[in-house]
Structure 1
Amino acid sequence: MDINCDLGESYDAFITGRDEEILDYVTSINIACGYHAGDHSIMHQTVRSAIRKNVHIGAHPGYPDREGFGRRNMAFSPAEIYDMIVYQVGALQAYVRIEEGTLHHVKPHGALYNQCANDQEKASAVVNAVYDLHPQLILYCLAGSQMAGIARDKGLQVYEEVFSDRRYHHDGTLVSRQEPNALIQTEEGMLKHVTGILTANEIFSVQSTKIKVAAHTLCIHGDGRHALDFAKKIAALRQQLH
């Protein structure tokens, strides 16, 4: 299974040492494109580092919400969402191109990701933008979401995603970050959760029900307190199981 991490989300014009080290333990990354975090210099440097370490590069476009880190719901039309995706992904594509790399995928960020998961109009806007940018791009989206089906119908390859550090409701949706139990913050809890995903394609919800998932990629949130430790443990677990 692909292991991805959201990186390039600093506000300073350099990659943090932690970001550099995380690259040693993941197979793909999602680079912030300047709307919710990051900037032109961080994007460029993160691209260079990913190419040097042979990690797949993805664009991580979000809402224009730096104060809320892109995690606040916003009311944009499908046409506006389409333009946001093209603008942000196009910028990252340019850096990848001049470094002679390949853009592997697109993964919407935060509230944009969650709002598009099961909203047909918003999901179609994202899917159409990604397809128009390049039909060979892979779309990362919430496992079991409507967006996954819309993307496949369009002809895009899809990686359905699960999260190593988030809890789920019985319907497969993520517990809101506004809830106290939204995040998995202990190594023991994370390893139990991820082991279930890697060995049995299943998650236990906060309602104590078992959810079956058909996931292709597992996410580590790069801004999480335990991101580096979780990345190391997940990489070791993945190697042990395979």
Structure 2
Amino acid sequence: MALLSEEAFFRWLPDDEDEIARHFGSGGHTVQPWVAKTPNTERQLDRHDPYGAASALDRPVPADWTRDLLGTVAEDEVTRRWSIGGRTAYRAEAWGAEGGRGEQAWSNTGHRLFVSRGVLLSLLKMSERSLVVALKIQKYHRGKSSGRCGDTSGFTHRLLVVVINERGQVWSPRGLSRRAKEAIMTLDSDRRRDFYPRFRAIAGLPDERQSRHNNPPISEELYRTLIDRLSPE
């Protein structure tokens, strides 16, 4: 619901632990990324190699918690395949091409992760989770935009949100529920623009940021005492 309440141009789903903590909060929810990226990749590739692309080192991988839960192991050192009980469960692919220099530099890259249906359903069942998928298609129409800062009228969008449960049943919300609309209306106009307060309001969770603001860990009196102690006599 929080995703659907955003303007079409800005709709997206956080896909790593840091982004999830920032946009959903640190507690009160069960949102977890099941796919991870290789951090701080050393790209020691020859940029002039016509058969090499940095995207080859950026393949997605199953998140650590999913591998631990299902006993998943890598089949090769490059980590392109993972197996469970000797049977291939995941397969990662990456492709890309780069060229040019400076302002003429260009890059076309992509990656994807395949997972067998049985493994995915087992993961959802054992973790007691549902999988949320967001498919967004965006097209830019040359000359349609006014050119003003923040104007997104030059784009058209199509978004499909799908939720898959542990039994493989698929549900696709078509719009905001009445409950979600009422929850969002409790927020002031400025806070409605941010994903975090909208999600916390729709989910019925306390606003951690507001709580920290209203109840700082150090009181004003204690803060003054510490400053006085640090001040030179």
TM-score, normalization by structure 2: 0.28
In our comparison, the structure showing a higher alpha carbon Rg is 2
TM-score normalised per structure 1 = 0.27
Q: Where is the strand percentage greater, Structure 1 or Structure 2?
A: 2
Q: Name the structure where helix makes up a greater proportion of residues.
A: 1
